[in-house]
Amino acid sequence: MDQKPNEPAKDGVLEPSALLVTIVATAIGVLVANLYYAQPLVGFIGPELGIDDRLAGAITSVTQVGYGAGLFLLVSLGDIVENRKLVLTTLLLTIFALIGLATSTAASTLFLACFVVGICATGAQVLIPFVTHLVPPERRGRTVGNLMAGLLTGIMLARPVALFVSAAFGWRAVFWFSVVLMLGIFLALFRVMPKHAPHGKSSYRQILASMAGLWIQLPALRWRSAYQFLMFGAFNMFWTAAPLMLTDHLGLTQRGVGLFALAGAGGALSAPLAGRLADRGHSMPLTLICMVLVGAGFLATGWAAAVPTIIGLAVLAFLIDAGIQANQVASQRIIFSAAAPDSRGRVNAIYMTITFIGGAIGSLLGTITYHWGGWTASAVTGGVIGLLLVILFWIERRLLRRTHAPR
């Protein structure tokens, strides 16, 4: 295999080149985008396949359930299975599942394909710890930031892309479009991704059983999982309730909501900067700034929606997403640094599973708060989440001072 896309480090170990990091970041974004393409299209998919309106939302839910299962069961395999083979296998399965989605004529085949897409999308979370194995500690935050920029870009662009492509060519074209993207990513990673065989000799059963021990042993994992649980909950709450508010009260069309979502995608720009700040030892101040951004940003959206001002809402969406993204980068740098190299796949599986649970609860909160008290209720709930984050951060800092634990 050609190793040119990687650069030799001083100790003789190959470090990832800018090309490899760029391809991996793109792969992460493209994989995760598959979770969100169907979300704005359920109103078109359901009637064509005879799915009841009350069950159409399950198209997205089944994909998310698959992703949750994959986070726990598949990502942990990264500690015992050769990473290149694992990633390429998930990519191939994703391509077949997307073809199944694009050609489905019955609800049963559609739901099965959605579930497989969800499981295989977790290949993105195998790629992140894989790259950290190749990066020296002083560059780890910057590299994780670049990878997370790809992930958030994929999440934020998925909905508007799905709306634009569907409007022009129909909903099936969205999944054919993704098939083409996935084929390109498969060929690129096949070409440039080096092999990484984990040193661990544990069985899969032992790997899964060891996760409880890692949770107990790593306080950084517990704190950072709690922070991102709340952060990602706020993220999903915002992007569940905001489209309702934009269409109900500001009169935006689907395409208008899609354009608004592009503003949030700009939050990905914060990731590389956050990585550099984390590499310089500023993870804790950065974390506090992110928490304040999220809480204050949510409260300010209540005013922006009341005015109303689309530009103000777009700027606040950018700031909220930037805060959530930057905290993700700082958190993953901390947990990867705290964990032994042969346990990073499991640590990431724990962290992302908890983050995903927070996101699922946030989606539910978005619907509940909006239908209960309108956007004001959603904005105040986001502000409360920000306050809770700051309180938890203050408690962690006090405990660290008492134990004199290095950070």
On whether both 64 and 195 belong to a single domain, the answer is yes
Of the candidates 192, 209, 226, which is a domain's last residue?
209
pLDDT at site 36: 83
For 296-326, how does the pLDDT look when each residue is reduced to its tens digit (9 = 90+)?
999 999 999 998 899 999 999 999 988 998 8
pLDDT at site 333: 86
On whether both 13 and 143 belong to a single domain, the answer is yes
pLDDT at site 358: 86
pLDDT averaged per 10 residues, the chain (length 407): 45 63 91 86 78 66 82 81 91 95 89 92 86 76 79 82 85 94 95 79 77 89 94 87 84 78 72 81 91 95 91 92 88 86 81 84 83 92 96 92 62
On whether both 162 and 281 belong to a single domain, the answer is no
Nearest-angstrom CA–CA distance, 353 and 356: 5
pLDDT at site 55: 62
Nearest-angstrom CA–CA distance, 255 and 275: 33
pLDDT at site 68: 82
Question: In terms of residue numbers, what domain contains 269?
Answer: 210-407
On whether both 317 and 345 belong to a single domain, the answer is yes
Nearest-angstrom CA–CA distance, 175 and 59: 14
On whether both 98 and 119 belong to a single domain, the answer is yes
Domains contained in the chain, number: 2
On whether both 238 and 137 belong to a single domain, the answer is no
pTM, to two decimals: 0.77
Of the candidates 179, 209, 239, which is a domain's last residue?
209
On whether both 202 and 224 belong to a single domain, the answer is no
On whether both 381 and 274 belong to a single domain, the answer is yes
Are 73 and 191 a contacting pair, CB within 8 Å? no
On whether both 219 and 202 belong to a single domain, the answer is no
On whether both 71 and 194 belong to a single domain, the answer is yes
pLDDT at site 47: 80
Residue 276: CB atoms within 10 A of its CB come to 15
DSSP track, 33-84? HTTTTTGGGHHHHHHHHT--GGGTTHHHHHHHHHHHHHHHHTGGGGGTS-HH
Of the candidates 155, 178, 209, which is a domain's last residue?
209
Residues 6+ positions from 57 with CB-CB distance below 8 Å? 42
pLDDT at site 254: 67
pLDDT at site 382: 95
On whether both 159 and 271 belong to a single domain, the answer is no
CATH number, domain containing residue 365: 1.20.1250.20
On whether both 59 and 164 belong to a single domain, the answer is yes
- Residue 35: closest CA among 72, 8, 60, 10: 60
